[in-house]
Amino acid sequence: MKRFSTSFQKMLGVSLIGILKCPSLMIARYGPIHPHTAPKLGYSSFVQLGRPRGVEKMQDRIEIFLGDITTLATEAIVNAANNGLCGGGGVDGAIHRAAGPKLLEECQSLGGCPTGDAKMTQGYNLPARCVIHTVGPIWRGGSHGEYEALASAYRNCLELAKKNAIRSVAFPSISTGAYGFPKDRAFRIAFQEISKFLDQSKVPEKVVIVCFSEDDYSRYTEAITEIGEADPKSREL
Ligand code: APR
């Protein structure tokens, strides 16, 4: 835990303030992630699944962070974009504002992005070196392929990161804002896809799941704890 905290801390450029331990979840409290855009909130969980299988891997490689994704100095951050990759509100708007106008210029040269797919650009003024743009599904009741499309968005981002040898990636909660995907279900799909991918691949080495509100943070950590305590087979979609 200490070894991991120190190396991950170095990678993100953060300072560790203190550690609080719970039976099934370890929570670390962090100081500023980026000196110029320090988030007001910013604590992270190191997930420790309740079953022996996968404990070491997941504990070392997935972190839950509460705050603004645009402040993170992971090698890549993921954008929850639209099919036109033309910018918008929510996390998309925040990423474009923080990256500056050159991001939109590059996005416009990419010819859009189908739902469930992913494309990569530079990060420009962001602390992250690059941005992986993906498009999650718009929630239409759950019988229009939304679950698979959301899983595919996570998978394709991770595949793209792997292809480009990206060591650390931060994800927002794709589709859970303007696109209306029910959060608890989206959190489970996200965590299951990420942990499944990391089980099979050494790259990316680290994944940060970003929650933008206290409520999302508690719901996410609860969902993960439940998945960890369930039979390992339930981690499959
Ligand atoms: N950092 C981290 N997470 C954020 C941030 C931020 N700065 N801003 C918003 N979020 C969170 C929201 O709280 C939500 O849980 O990102 C999640 C996704 O919400 P949206 O940004 O609305 O994305 P999505 O639901 O996928 O809708 C995509 O919104 O703005 C448009 O162009 C975008 O049309 C696309 C649509």
Domain assignment of residue 11, yes or no: no
Domain assignment of residue 36, yes or no: no
> Read out DSSP for 78-133?
EEE--TT----SHHHHHHHHHH-HHHHHHHHTTT---TT-EEEEE-TTSSSSEEEE
Within 8 A by CB and 6+ apart from 122, the residues are 102, 103, 106, 129, 130, 131
Task: Tell the residue nearest (CA) to atom 21 of ligand 1.
Answer: 90
Domain assignment of residue 14, yes or no: no
Pocket around ligand 1 at a 6 A CB cut-off: 68-70, 80-82, 88-94, 136, 172-179, 210, 212
Domain assignment of residue 170, yes or no: yes
**Tell me, what's the pLDDT at 45?**
59
What's the gap in Å between 6 CA and the centre of ligand 1?
Answer: 30
Tens of pLDDT, residue by residue over 131-152, are: 999 999 999 999 999 999 999 9
Percent of the chain predicted with pLDDT > 70: 71
**pLDDT: is 128 or 1 the higher one?**
128
| Angle, CA of 227, 230 and 49, to the nearest 5° | 55
What's the gap in Å between 21 CA and the centre of ligand 1?
Answer: 30
Which positions are annotated as active-site residues? Answer: 92
Residue 207 has pLDDT above 90, yes or no: yes
Domain assignment of residue 180, yes or no: yes
What's the gap in Å between 214 CA and the centre of ligand 1?
Answer: 16
Domain that holds residue 124: 62-229
Domain assignment of residue 209, yes or no: yes
Looking at ligand 1, which atom is closest to the CA of residue 68? 1
**pLDDT: is 9 or 22 the higher one?**
9
Nearest 10 degrees: CA dihedral of 65, 71, 76, 77? 70
> Cβ distance 208 to 72 under 8 Å?
yes
- The CATH number of residue 213's host domain is 3.40.220.10
Q: How many domains does the chain have?
A: 1
Nearest Cα neighbor of 74 from 62, 84, 57, 92 is 62
Domain assignment of residue 132, yes or no: yes
Tens of pLDDT, residue by residue over 18-46, are: 222 222 233 333 333 433 333 444 556 55
Tens of pLDDT, residue by residue over 99-136, are: 999 999 999 999 999 999 999 999 999 999 999 999 99
pTM here? 0.82
**What is the total residue count of the chain?**
237
Domain assignment of residue 129, yes or no: yes
Helix (H) or strand (E) holding 57: helix 55-61
